[in-house]
C-alpha cells in the first residue's frame, strides 16, 4: 500500500524565470526580423537599389526580349552602372547609360564587325524602350515653342504644307506662309479660315490643333500667316522611330523592276536607273525613313536608291519606297520609307539621331 501511495513526478514544474527569458529572447528575434524587413523594403524602394526580379519584370513590360534583357544586364554590370532600374524608368538615365556602354564597347579587343553588331543591338533596345514607354504628354500652350520649330499646315481640303514658326507673340503665332501671294488672288487663306497645325517635338511627340487665320505680315522678310495659339494640346501620336532634322545633300535614283524570262520561269530583278539621277536636300531622318526636298520629286510608289552623308567622308546608301509627296512651289518633299539599309549604315544613322557618339570632321576634330 505504501508503494501504491508513492507519487512519481514525470514532468518538472515550469520555472517562471526560464519562461520569461524564453519569451524575451523570442521577442527580440521577432523584433529584429521585423526591423530587417522594414529596412529592406525601404532600401528596395530607393532609385539606386537593384532588384533583378523587378528589373526583368519592368524590362519585359517594355517589350524587351529575354536576349535583350540579358544583354542589358551584361552591359550594366560591365560599366558598373549603379541604378539599373532607373535606366528603364528615366530616358535621360537610359541615354547616359547607353553613351557609357557604347564607349565601353569601343575599348574592347573586338573586331570592328563585332563592335558594330553590339552597338546595333543596343540601339534596338533603345528603340524598343522608347516605342513602348507610355507617357501621355500635354503641351500647355504653343506660346512655349521656340522660333524655327517646324510645323505642318493642313487645309480642310486635305492639302499639307511644311512650314516653321517665324514669330511667337502673346496674342498670336506666326508661321512662314508656304504659298506665295499671287497677283489678283491675294493671300492663300482668308481671315477666320480654319487650318490644322501639326507639331513634332523631340522627334517622337506629335501634337495637333485647329486654329483660325488672323492675318498676314512680313517677319524679317518672310511672308507669315498669323494664327491663334493652341492650348492644352494632348499628344496624339508617338512615332515608332525617333526622327531628327537634318540638312544634307542627297542623291537619288529610281529603281526599276525588270522581268526576264528564263525558260518557263519569270525572274524579277531590281535595277538602279543611273541615267535619272536626282538631287535634293535631306530634311529629316529616322531609322524607318527620311524626307528629301527636291525640284524633281519621284511619284508616290516609286522604288528609290538614296545616297547621303550624316558625317563627312562616311557615305550612307539606302533603298526605299516613296510613300507620298508634299507639293511645294517649284518642287516637293518626298516622304520615303526605308526597305533595305545595311546594319553598318543604319548604325551610322542611329549615331546621328541619338548623338551618343561624337561625330568627327575629315580632320578628326569633334564636330
Mean pLDDT of 30-46: 59
Percent of the residues in the chain that have a pLDDT greater than 70, as a whole number: 82
Q: Which residues contact 315 (CB under 8 A, 6 or more apart)?
A: 307, 308, 309
Mean pLDDT of 85-102: 91
Residue 199 covered by a domain: yes
pLDDT at 203 over 80: no
Which one of 217, 238, 259 terminates a domain?
A: 238
Per-residue confidence band for 122, with pLDDT thresholds at 50, 70 and 90: very high
Residues facing residue 161 across a β-bridge: 153
Regarding whether 329 and 251 lie in a shared domain, the answer is yes
Per-residue confidence band for 360, with pLDDT thresholds at 50, 70 and 90: very low
Number of domains in the chain: 3
Regarding whether 230 and 156 lie in a shared domain, the answer is yes
Per-residue confidence band for 282, with pLDDT thresholds at 50, 70 and 90: very high
Could you tell me the three cell numbers for 271?
A: 535595277
Query: Higher pLDDT residue, 172 or 138?
Result: 172
Residue 279 covered by a domain: yes
pLDDT at 183 over 50: yes
Regarding whether 147 and 212 lie in a shared domain, the answer is yes
Percent of the residues in the chain that have a pLDDT greater than 90, as a whole number: 51
Regarding whether 349 and 270 lie in a shared domain, the answer is yes
Strands 160-168 and 205-219, how do they pair? unpaired
Regarding whether 255 and 184 lie in a shared domain, the answer is no
Q: Is the dihedral of CA 347, 352, 353, 357 positive or negative?
A: positive
The pLDDT, as a whole number, for residue 50 is: 60
CATH assignment of the domain containing 154: 2.30.110.70
The pLDDT, as a whole number, for residue 37 is: 60
| Residues in the chain, total | 367
Count of CB atoms within 10 A of residue 271's CB? 11
Residue 192: domain span: 138-238
Residue 149 covered by a domain: yes
Residue 143 covered by a domain: yes
- pLDDT tens profile 298-334: 999 999 999 999 988 889 999 999 998 877 777 888 9
CB 254 within 8 A of CB 277: no
pLDDT at 295 over 90: yes
Per-residue confidence band for 4, with pLDDT thresholds at 50, 70 and 90: very low
CA dihedral 331, 332, 337, 338 (to 10 degrees): 30
Q: What is the DSSP string of 81-106?
A: -S-HHHHHH-HHHHHHHHHHHHHHHH
Instruction: Enter the pTM of the model.
Output: 0.64
Q: Which helix (H) or strand (E) holds 112?
A: helix 112-132
Regarding whether 146 and 126 lie in a shared domain, the answer is no
Per-residue confidence band for 172, with pLDDT thresholds at 50, 70 and 90: very high
The pLDDT, as a whole number, for residue 109 is: 94
Q: What is the spatial distance between Cα 248 and Cα 250, in angstroms, rounded to a whole number?
A: 6
Could you tell me the three cell numbers for 255?
A: 529603281
The pLDDT, as a whole number, for residue 204 is: 66
CATH assignment of the domain containing 336: 2.40.10.220
pLDDT at 5 over 70: no
Mean pLDDT of 27-48: 60
Mean pLDDT of 167-187: 84
Query: Higher pLDDT residue, 183 or 160?
Result: 160
pLDDT at 221 over 50: yes
Regarding whether 152 and 128 lie in a shared domain, the answer is no
The pLDDT, as a whole number, for residue 139 is: 83
CB 206 within 8 A of CB 180: no
Residue 328 covered by a domain: yes
Which one of 238, 270, 293 terminates a domain?
A: 238
pLDDT at 193 over 70: yes
- pLDDT tens profile 61-84: 999 999 999 999 999 999 999 889
Residue 36 covered by a domain: no
The phi, psi pair for 110, rounded to 5°, reads -130, 160
CB 151 within 8 A of CB 164: yes
Q: What is the spatial distance between Cα 99 and Cα 162, in angstroms, rounded to a whole number?
A: 33
Regarding whether 176 and 91 lie in a shared domain, the answer is no
The pLDDT, as a whole number, for residue 8 is: 44
Which one of 132, 153, 185 terminates a domain?
A: 132
pLDDT at 85 over 70: yes
Tell how many helices (H) and how many strands (E) occur in the chain. Answer: 8, 15
The pLDDT, as a whole number, for residue 48 is: 45
Regarding whether 149 and 85 lie in a shared domain, the answer is no
- pLDDT tens profile 226-280: 999 999 887 776 667 888 888 899 999 999 988 877 777 778 888 999 999 999 9
Per-residue confidence band for 13, with pLDDT thresholds at 50, 70 and 90: low
Mean pLDDT of 152-160: 87
Amino acid at each position: 500500500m505504501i508503494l501504491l501511495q508513492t507519487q512519481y513526478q514525470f514532468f518538472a514544474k515550469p520555472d517562471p524565470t526560464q519562461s520569461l527569458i524564453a519569451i524575451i529572447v523570442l521577442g527580440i528575434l521577432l523584433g529584429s526580423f521585423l526591423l530587417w524587413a522594414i529596412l529592406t523594403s525601404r532600401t528596395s524602394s530607393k532609385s539606386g537599389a537593384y532588384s533583378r526580379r523587378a528589373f526583368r519584370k519592368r524590362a519585359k513590360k517594355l517589350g524587351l526580349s529575354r536576349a535583350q534583357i540579358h544583354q542589358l544586364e551584361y552591359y550594366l554590370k560591365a560599366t558598373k552602372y549603379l541604378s539599373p532600374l532607373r535606366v528603364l524608368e528615366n530616358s535621360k538615365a537610359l541615354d547616359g547609360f547607353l553613351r557609357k556602354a557604347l564607349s565601353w564597347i569601343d575599348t574592347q579587343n573586338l573586331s570592328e564587325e563585332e563592335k558594330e553588331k553590339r552597338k546595333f543591338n543596343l540601339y534596338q533596345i533603345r528603340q524598343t524602350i522608347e516605342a513602348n514607354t507610355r507617357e501621355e504628354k500635354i503641351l500647355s500652350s504653343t506660346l512655349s515653342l521656340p522660333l524655327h520649330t517646324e510645323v505642318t499646315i493642313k487645309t480642310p481640303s486635305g492639302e499639307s504644307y511644311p512650314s516653321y514658326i517665324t514669330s511667337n507673340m502673346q496674342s498670336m503665332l506666326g508661321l512662314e506662309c508656304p504659298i506665295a501671294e499671287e497677283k489678283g488672288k491675294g493671300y492663300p487663306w482668308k481671315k477666320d479660315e480654319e487650318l490644322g497645325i501639326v507639331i513634332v517635338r523631340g522627334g517622337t511627340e506629335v501634337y495637333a490643333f485647329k486654329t483660325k487665320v488672323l492675318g498676314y505680315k512680313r517677319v524679317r522678310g518672310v511672308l507669315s500667316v498669323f494664327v491663334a495659339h493652341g492650348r492644352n494640346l494632348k499628344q496624339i501620336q508617338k512615332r515608332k522611330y525617333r526622327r531628327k532634322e537634318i540638312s544634307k545633300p542627297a542623291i537619288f535614283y529610281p529603281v526599276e523592276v525588270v522581268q526576264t524570262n528564263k525558260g518557263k520561269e519569270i525572274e524579277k530583278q531590281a535595277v538602279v536607273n543611273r541615267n535619272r539621277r536626282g538631287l535634293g536636300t535631306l530634311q529629316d531622318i529616322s531609322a524607318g525613313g527620311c524626307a528629301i526636298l527636291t525640284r524633281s520629286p519621284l511619284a508616290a510608289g516609286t522604288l528609290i536608291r538614296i545616297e547621303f552623308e550624316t558625317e563627312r567622308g562616311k557615305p550612307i546608301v539606302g533603298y526605299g519606297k516613296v510613300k507620298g509627296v508634299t507639293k511645294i512651289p517649284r518642287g516637293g518633299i518626298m516622304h520615303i520609307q526605308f526597305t533595305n539599309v545595311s546594319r553598318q549604315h543604319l548604325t551610322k544613322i542611329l549615331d546621328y539621331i541619338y548623338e551618343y557618339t561624337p561625330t568627327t570632321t575629315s580632320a578628326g576634330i569633334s564636330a
